[in-house]
Structure 1
Amino acid sequence: MSQELVYSLVDQRVDRDIPNLQTLKRDLERGTDEIKLEALQKIIIGSLNGEKFDSLFMFIIRFVMPTKNKILKKHLLFYWEVCPKYDEAGKLKQETILICNSLLNDLHHSNEYIQGATLRFLCRLKDNELLEPLIGPTRECLNHRHAYVRRNAVLAIHSIYKNQSHLVPDAPELILNFLAAESDSMCKRNAIIMLIDTDLGMAVDWLLGSLNLVESMESNIQLSVIELIRKASKVYPQEKPKFIRCVFELLSSESSSVKFEAASALVTLTNNSAAIKAVGTSLIQLILKESDNNVKLVVLERLDNLRIKHEGLLDDLAIDLLQILSNSDLEVKKRSLDIVMKLTSQRNAGDVVGILKKQLIKTLNAEFEKVKEYRELLVQTIHACAVSFPEVAADVAKLFLSSISEFSKSSAADAISFVREVIEKFPLLRSSIISELHLTFPEIKSSEAMCRALWILGEYSSDIQSIKTSWENIKNSLGELPLLALEEQEALTSGDDSANNEHAETHVIQNSTRILPDGTYATESSLVKTFTSVSSTSNKPPIRALLFDCQYFVGAVLASALVKLVLRFSKLGGPSAELNQLNAQALLAMIGIIRVGQSSFVQSPIDEDSYDRVLACIRALEHKDEDSEELELAFLDDSQAAFTRLVKSQDKRLEKSKNISQDKPQGKFDSPMEFRLLSKSNADQDEEDVNGPSEASTSTEIVTKLDSIVQLTGFSDPVYAEAYLNVHQYDITIDILIVNQTNDTLKNLTAEFSMMGDLKLIEKPRSYNVSPRSFSSIKATIKVSSADSGVIYGNLTYDGPGPSDSNCIVFNDINVDIMEYIRPSYCDEAKFFSMWSEFEWENKVDVITKITDLQVYLKHLIESTNMACLTPDSALDGDCGFLSANLYSKSIFGEDALLNVSLEKVDDDSTVTGHIRIRSKSQGIALSLGDKINAVQTNTPQTISAE
């Protein structure tokens, strides 16, 4: 039995009743054109959804087919397409021959749009009996006066020749002659597409004779010519130079689509460096020309793939690509800067940084949307570029320091971090950068930037003169010493009521977040006694203002920097009088920090940690003569050595994050060799895809396929079914093997699916008939829109040997693993904590495992969740009873997943305990990752090798 394809699934309108046969017959026979139209729409929708309306076929032929209503005629063509045309024996019904009369009349109709719609409908017909009487009128339509009819006539000839070539044996010659005489661009485009599909040699002959005219043709014809060249270049390699020259000329086309397709085609035709550079230039011009940001991002992605494939050839285009920074969209700028960084080399590093510096200066004097975010992006890009290319580091450091007052808090901190990294990596630049920092130190206002600047002054003031200058800058930023003297004097001299109220004791309600024993969060309110002061910190020196603003960590860093300055001054053999004066003033400043934190002039008292650190620095200066060697080792040598290790660790992680997306799995020594000439690959696979295959679709090994097989029914069921899940980047293809284990023919065997999660069925599987003891294959495609785990439900229905037998077998559930869409990724610590505080969905998972080693459990967790560990290896080294680490990954949909692992081991014989906190922007990822971790823990063996 032959079965019709189900082209689509149309939802029935809520305001319409379920169609009734008697009602439909009455409407078709006696209704007006509007009523007939509504009835016909119900019949079409019902037929698409699998309903049977065989008894209405003759009613439609008798009462609807003779109509002159244009809309009704259009719907009638839709009905001819979906109506059942075969009987149970698989033969064409006799009454369907009556359709030919209607189609013949429409082909000779005076209205050209009815003729065109009818010709378009002929593209859907594949039946020899229906098509044969229509060949003559179809050929005549090639000479019609209206281009709309001619272009659809070409499509009809194309379809007829493809399905029933004996009906139009001379179709290629007919269309070639038509192409030579035709003037309409769409008609010529359809003709070229047909020649490509039916007779490639004839299409190539036409192209070789028209090469000089291609550049002046319409854009739609040029697109079809590019498609012709793609296919002809493999069959006619001797003509490839002419093809390349033709495509090269099309790169200068005014049409964006032609330019893009020509660039894509040229990459597949040649690896010549000049051609690759021309392609890159065309893509950049296309980005600058297009106004749609989505198009810009797509072309940028194509440009990046081209860069990866042809490493080093596009470096000269980095400057041209920077023109895109004039675009207003921040995402486009970010993607452009990512590519520019990968194209930057020693030859163009100076020019690239020069342009970025100009862009940074523009942001200081301009106000536009997201200017702060753009400024931070520029600072980070210049930072990365300067670290990679030392020759520009000095100029960049001076630029950052000179503009520090204009930066936001985060940008200023990033700028000072860059300066600190440059000073460590390039010792020859230290003196000049320290001198520049001395000039700009009073302009630093934010606490984070101030902490890092103080650390730099304390660590890298390496001679007596720089130590003196550093102390003078610090003293000017502190103001009058002792720190509380001025404040107390102002308080004593103020006798009015407003002054008395200046330090009045008040009580305020303070809210804080606490973690309950079950891991959830709760808000706690408490009544706190505070001292308020109306004195403003805006007119105070920078460090003094930060201290009175309760930024006590700045005070702790200042104390450490002062100890380093005193110890290094002593180590360099400075004058004893100046050393004593420096020591006394340093002690006075540190004692003042503690007194400020304990006074009534601040909103909150000094924290215990900062207090202990400042006190330790005071004791260090008190005993600097007795324990000079130990103090110099701790403050001068170990501190710088620790920072050196940190910089090297960051460089290793950065290099690892760069290589993680470029690493290609190496083939095993016993993996089979594949000969392309002997393999059964599709023709499309021969074409070089610039996008490259997705990671999920490249694995074709048998073992991998066997791992992805899911058994859907039992071996004792009448029908055995198993499915192979082929997970692509954005969709899942389910290939189901159906085995008929009975001695009867199973009719109308259909697989139906329903999804839970962000899954959507794209293509409904068709119905099949399966012979006794035979098998068949059913395929279904499901679209995935997020990285959430999903479940696919389904059943199998079929008709038995009896006329009324209908059976249903429920499938086992198919679980879609979230790990198919998670990719390990890296981000800096600041970005991780920023996302951690921003994301609202959290899932806490308790650690329940038989593993007894903390490092082994962490490694097992990283491998199982496909995440990257952001915690440096140096922080994880050693053997102790607890471990904490941060993990990060990103889905192919751009969704971030954060993990904080807190592990503990009570004694040597105990297992690992603790908890894992998962945070993400969407609830689905947090829950899915939690389920995955629980499943991994449940199936974890007692011992796992640490190797």
Structure 2
Amino acid sequence: MAVTEQHCTILFNSDGLQSMQQDDIIKNLEQPNISGKVTGIKQAILLLLSGETMPRLLMSVIKGCLKDDSKELKKLVMMYWEVVKKYDAEGKLLPEMILVCNALRNDLNHPNEYVRGCTLRFLCKLREPELLEPLIPTVKLCLEHRHSYVRRNAALLCYYVHKNFGQQLLPDGPELIERFIAAEGDTSARRSAFLFLYNESEELAIDFLNNHMEDVPKFGDGFALLVLELCRKVCRRDPSQKSRFVRVLLSMLQSRSAAVSYEAAWTLVSLSGAPTAIRAAATTYAQLLNTQSDNNVKLIVLERLAGLKKHHTKVLQEVLMDILRALSSPNVDICRKTLEVAMDLVTPRNIEEVVQVLKREVVRTQEAGMEKGTQYRTLLIQAIHGCATKFADVAESVVGVLMDFLNGDGAMDVILFVRSIVEQYEGLRPSILSKLIFSLRDMVNGPVIAVAIWILGEYCEDADAITSAFTELRESVGPMPLTEANSSAANGGADGGPAKEGGAAEEGGGAAAGAGGGGTTVTKNIVLSDGTYATQTTVQGGGVAAVASALKSDARLRQLLVGGEIFLGSALSASLTKMTLRAMDLLGDSSPAAKEMQIATLQILCGLAKVIEARSLTHRGAYADCLERVTMCCRSLLDPAARAVLKPTLLDLCRQSFQQLLDKEKAAQAKQAEEMEGRPRSQPDDLINFRQLRSNALQAAELDIYDGDDISKATGMDAPDTGRLSHIYQLSGFADPVYAEACVTVHDYDIVLEMLVINRTPNTLTNLTVELSTMGDLRLVERPQSHTIGPLDSRNIRANIKVSSTETGHIFGTIVYENSSTAEKTYINLNDIHMDIMDYIKPASCSEEAFRSMWAEFEWENKVAVNTSFTDLNAFLKHLVAKTNTNCLTPLSSLDGSSSFLAANLYAMSVFGEDALVNVSVEKKSDADGKLSGHVRIRSKTQGIALSLGDRITLVQRGPGTTKAQP
């Protein structure tokens, strides 16, 4: 007789519970105390679920638990009836089940409606027709009970009985439920009856719906959702019947229930592609987006809108402003998704309104109490950048607003946006450069100032712009040399007050620094109010010019240069040199103004060179390139021969390189957009060769040539799917009496083990059990049941394991069985199964700002040395990205070229929401071998993912011609 799995709908975790023996449970069940019976029946249920049989327990439960009226005990007894074995070895119903059936009939006639309803609910789970058949007359009587709870569960039981044993137990079910639903007034009972008609008698369900079309909104949300399922089912089978349901679908769009209106909109879209239907559905989605407070609901609705956008862009453009109202949400993820949907719907008709909304949101990010305001501002700046790139008319209006944020968080995104706009729109350059010069003194971030200086040096081309920008930069740098003492002299006051870092000069002190233009400085040591010593430098004998110099030298640019921002000084030297060379071309090499700019630039370059030399004593390798660049700028100003060679590079090639960078970024974005569209891998008109239709002459010649292509075209893949084969693990050896192997299937939070166990002996093996254990964040949900396997027979055994984190886990265990002839118990140790982290992490994307923030926040780091046979930097990076399921955040355009260094950021996210950050820093050695060296650093919030991903990277570091590493 074939052994089938027992039907059961409940599952409990028995880990950590103390199990009782069968005799102890029987004693508890036979005592008069209710609490003891409850404890005993609970232990019996857990032991039955774990595979124990306990045949003597059934009569004890019947004698000790059926006569008590405790509702808790009744519920537990119903669970016991569900899990207990009801058939003997020959497949016949146990005699004790007659007593059980009689007890169930008594509960169906119980005066308490709760007991009746719970019993009816329990009977829905039974799959034994011998138990259900004597109860059918009583169930029909419950359909007429005075309480709706009983009638609802009676109708539900009729559905399950007719579904599983239709003509055998309830042949008149549809007619019975038709009469019941016509007279029923309770919404829940009517819903259960309509569920019966929907699944078992579709025509009767449609007739009832046609007769009560106007009353559907009054029948409750559950009934309305069933009607929607009926509409989808009927219309997909017979599209000609769509007109019968259009009216009810449109009425459900206005339902007060968010679930009903959402499902109605989705149903309408799935059944019809007419603009009227899409417009109605889009309006409903937009209304749900702005009325629901649950963030998960908003994200789901935004996903639906994104799906509509692919095929009905013009219709969604009509509700774009309603979609943008979702930006008022404090959740950044909702705002990000809203902007992703909205930006593709912007047209020349609505661009003005969209920009006004975005500008208003940018201003709102200045609110002090706004959570993640900087991150939200970054998203808005990127959206505005996209609008300005597509529509030149709005660029001028948004640049001025965004440039007000150059002195705060998100300033880097703003300055990069300004840099792109200056290059793309030549007509906006004068106004942007003027405002940039004015805003330079308010900038506080070094990299932002560097980009601003580069813009001024590259795009100030007329004499007035060059003079204004040069004067502002010269005054911001202050007097030479660039030392702490000189800065203190500029910032100190006449009253001897110490200079304040990053702030303006003291009121009254700085303004009264002196009276002449040729002032001298006096330095002395003073004792501060807290008892510490400090150096104070004051200006004596100066006039108004000294006061102005003191105020100007407090600029943030000088503070950064003095503080060691040498890379900023390198950018400053190149920009000042470009301005000077352009001034010499416009005004002439011998003009006084050009000579003055040349001398001032050389003074600043010499001052920067001294600072670089001082810093290079401790960071020699880091600042050598900067010193070389400053030296090159000096040569271009002093040597006419060097100037002729370097001028084209400084004035022309730099801008051409930036233009090429923008072109590459546009091409990369366009390619990414095409990939996200999900284009099919094979086209409908591609030729497919059917082997059966070929002639005999061609078959022999072309069989091996075309069969692989046929499979690729039919499946849309480059090769047949071998993913399942790669997850099969051999658990025992070929010489063992029992051979076992397992196929591991990972479904995010669940792992399913499908184990094949083969009896290779001529004897019958009884009580064969696969005892599994886990290590790591894995938990075994249920133990596999014991089996009896005949000679040379096999069994498929399933086990479920829960996963709670991305940490690498191990599954190990033992096969235990008894030989039927010798009764000897045998143990076979199984090989370990190591779970691969690649099953849990997926490529993801994040902004550069978010990556840097997480990199500084995460505390766990794993540093892996590069040891590979690859000799090409880009090939090694692509191999690493493919083998680690990560996404390269560094733009591909910045990785081009012939450099011997490569630095890239990779990012991935696990199914549990854990972030995995990877930084690749590789150098190609200049020796004959040309090997790669460097490190791969992994950072994460948890130790498990950092170690597991590091082990994976160590494992896959291989190159062409090496042996494939086993996972």
Cα distance in 1 for partners of 2:895, 2:526 equals: 47
Deviations 1:834-869 (A, max 9, x none): 433333222222333344554543443333223344
2:182 pairs with one of 180, 183, 192: 180
Cα distance, 1:879 vs structure 2? 5.4
- What corresponds to 2:456 in structure 1? 457
Cα distance in 1 for partners of 2:254, 2:572 equals: 62
1:916 maps onto 2:936 in alignment: yes
1:360 maps onto 2:362 in alignment: yes
- What corresponds to 1:849 in structure 2? 868
For 1:665-676, list aligned pairs within 5 A: 666-667=681-682
For 1:141-156, list aligned pairs within 5 A: 141-156=142-157
Cα distance in 2 for partners of 1:777, 1:434 equals: 74
Cα distance, 1:795 vs structure 2? 4.5
Cα distance in 1 for partners of 2:227, 2:491 equals: 87
1:813 pairs with one of 803, 808, 832: 832
Asked if structure 1 preserves the Cα contact closer than 8 Å seen for 2:494 and 2:538, the reply is no
For 1:677-756, list aligned pairs within 5 A: 701=720, 703-743=722-762, 750-756=769-775
1:579 maps onto 2:597 in alignment: no
Letter aligned with residue 219 of structure 2: M
Cα distance, 1:461 vs structure 2? 0.9
Report which stretch shifted further, 246-255 or 261-270.
Answer: 261-270
- What corresponds to 2:502 in structure 1? none
SS of residue in 2 equivalent to 1:627? helix
Cα distance in 2 for partners of 1:335, 1:415 equals: 21
Deviations 1:643-690 (A, max 9, x none): 22332333334344444544456149788999xxxxxxxxxxxxxxxx
- Would the alpha carbon gap of residues 544 and 857 (structure 1) be closer, same or farther in structure 2, given more than 3 Å must change? closer
1:621 maps onto 2:637 in alignment: yes
Report which stretch shifted further, 461-470 or 739-748.
Answer: 739-748
- What corresponds to 1:338 in structure 2? 340
Letter aligned with residue 634 of structure 1: T
- Would the alpha carbon gap of residues 29 and 554 (structure 1) be closer, same or farther in structure 2, given more than 3 Å must change? closer
Asked if structure 2 preserves the Cα contact closer than 8 Å seen for 1:142 and 1:150, the reply is yes
For 1:233-312, list aligned pairs within 5 A: 233-308=235-310, 310=312
Cα distance, 1:634 vs structure 2? 2.5
Cα distance in 1 for partners of 2:808, 2:113 equals: 53
Letter aligned with residue 464 of structure 2: Q
SS of residue in 2 equivalent to 1:887? strand
Cα distance in 2 for partners of 1:568, 1:60 equals: 100
- Would the alpha carbon gap of residues 488 and 190 (structure 1) be closer, same or farther in structure 2, given more than 3 Å must change? closer
1:562 maps onto 2:572 in alignment: no
Deviations 1:211-258 (A, max 9, x none): 232233311211121122222223343322222432232121110111
Asked if structure 1 preserves the Cα contact closer than 8 Å seen for 2:50 and 2:785, the reply is no
Deviations 1:777-831 (A, max 9, x none): 4444444444444433345455553594655544433333333344444555554
- Would the alpha carbon gap of residues 296 and 748 (structure 1) be closer, same or farther in structure 2, given more than 3 Å must change? farther
Asked if structure 2 preserves the Cα contact closer than 8 Å seen for 1:467 and 1:565, the reply is yes
- Would the alpha carbon gap of residues 860 and 30 (structure 1) be closer, same or farther in structure 2, given more than 3 Å must change? closer
Asked if structure 2 preserves the Cα contact closer than 8 Å seen for 1:537 and 1:548, the reply is no
Letter aligned with residue 163 of structure 2: K
- What corresponds to 2:405 in structure 1? 404
For 1:360-439, list aligned pairs within 5 A: 360-364=362-366, 367-401=369-403, 403-404=404-405, 407-408=407-408, 410-439=409-438
Cα distance in 1 for partners of 2:880, 2:249 equals: 51
For 1:121-200, list aligned pairs within 5 A: 121-165=122-166, 166-200=168-202
- What corresponds to 1:517 in structure 2? none
Deviations 1:860-882 (A, max 9, x none): 33332233444555655555765
Cα distance, 1:261 vs structure 2? 1.9
- Would the alpha carbon gap of residues 195 and 748 (structure 1) be closer, same or farther in structure 2, given more than 3 Å must change? farther
SS of residue in 2 equivalent to 1:931? helix
2:557 pairs with one of 533, 539, 543: 543
Cα distance, 1:567 vs structure 2? 0.7
- What corresponds to 2:72 in structure 1? 71
- What corresponds to 1:866 in structure 2? 885
Deviations 1:56-93 (A, max 9, x none): 22222223212233332222222222222222222111
- Would the alpha carbon gap of residues 150 and 380 (structure 1) be closer, same or farther in structure 2, given more than 3 Å must change? same
SS of residue in 2 equivalent to 1:835? helix
Asked if structure 1 preserves the Cα contact closer than 8 Å seen for 2:496 and 2:536, the reply is no
Letter aligned with residue 681 of structure 2: Q
Asked if structure 2 preserves the Cα contact closer than 8 Å seen for 1:404 and 1:440, the reply is no
RMSD between aligned residues: 4.0
- What corresponds to 1:684 in structure 2? none
Cα distance in 2 for partners of 1:51, 1:66 equals: 26
Asked if structure 1 preserves the Cα contact closer than 8 Å seen for 2:285 and 2:305, the reply is yes
Asked if structure 1 preserves the Cα contact closer than 8 Å seen for 2:681 and 2:716, the reply is no
Cα distance in 2 for partners of 1:713, 1:489 equals: 82
Letter aligned with residue 142 of structure 2: C
Cα distance in 2 for partners of 1:704, 1:599 equals: 59
Cα distance in 2 for partners of 1:213, 1:492 equals: 84
Deviations 1:96-117 (A, max 9, x none): 1011221121111111111111
- What corresponds to 2:503 in structure 1? none
Asked if structure 1 preserves the Cα contact closer than 8 Å seen for 2:756 and 2:796, the reply is yes
TM-score normalised by length of structure 2: 0.83
Q: How many residues align?
A: 894
Greater relative contact order, per chain length (Cα 8 Å cut-off, separation 6+): 1
For 1:907-946, list aligned pairs within 5 A: 907-909=927-929, 911-937=931-957, 941-942=961-962
1:467 maps onto 2:481 in alignment: no
What are structure 2's unaligned runs of at least 5 residues? 500-520, 528-532, 540-549, 692-714
Asked if structure 1 preserves the Cα contact closer than 8 Å seen for 2:498 and 2:536, the reply is no
SS of residue in 2 equivalent to 1:143? coil
Letter aligned with residue 839 of structure 2: E
Cα distance in 2 for partners of 1:281, 1:491 equals: 61
- Would the alpha carbon gap of residues 370 and 861 (structure 1) be closer, same or farther in structure 2, given more than 3 Å must change? closer
Asked if structure 1 preserves the Cα contact closer than 8 Å seen for 2:433 and 2:460, the reply is yes
Deviations 1:513-560 (A, max 9, x none): xxxxxxxxxxxxxxxx99787999898244344445554444332222
Cα distance, 1:743 vs structure 2? 4.8
- Would the alpha carbon gap of residues 757 and 426 (structure 1) be closer, same or farther in structure 2, given more than 3 Å must change? farther
- Would the alpha carbon gap of residues 497 and 486 (structure 1) be closer, same or farther in structure 2, given more than 3 Å must change? closer
Identity across the alignment (%): 38
- What corresponds to 2:220 in structure 1? 218
- Would the alpha carbon gap of residues 440 and 917 (structure 1) be closer, same or farther in structure 2, given more than 3 Å must change? closer
- What corresponds to 1:107 in structure 2? 108
- Would the alpha carbon gap of residues 360 and 2 (structure 1) be closer, same or farther in structure 2, given more than 3 Å must change? closer
- Would the alpha carbon gap of residues 237 and 493 (structure 1) be closer, same or farther in structure 2, given more than 3 Å must change? closer
SS of residue in 2 equivalent to 1:650? helix
What are structure 1's unaligned runs of at least 5 residues? 507-528, 675-695
Report which stretch shifted further, 367-376 or 244-253.
Answer: 367-376
Cα distance in 1 for partners of 2:662, 2:651 equals: 17
Asked if structure 2 preserves the Cα contact closer than 8 Å seen for 1:901 and 1:916, the reply is yes
SS of residue in 2 equivalent to 1:164? helix
Cα distance, 1:134 vs structure 2? 0.9
SS of residue in 2 equivalent to 1:314? helix
Cα distance, 1:472 vs structure 2? 3.5
Deviations 1:619-662 (A, max 9, x none): 43223x44332231122112212222332333334344444544
- What corresponds to 2:88 in structure 1? 87
Cα distance, 1:154 vs structure 2? 1.0
Cα distance, 1:127 vs structure 2? 2.0
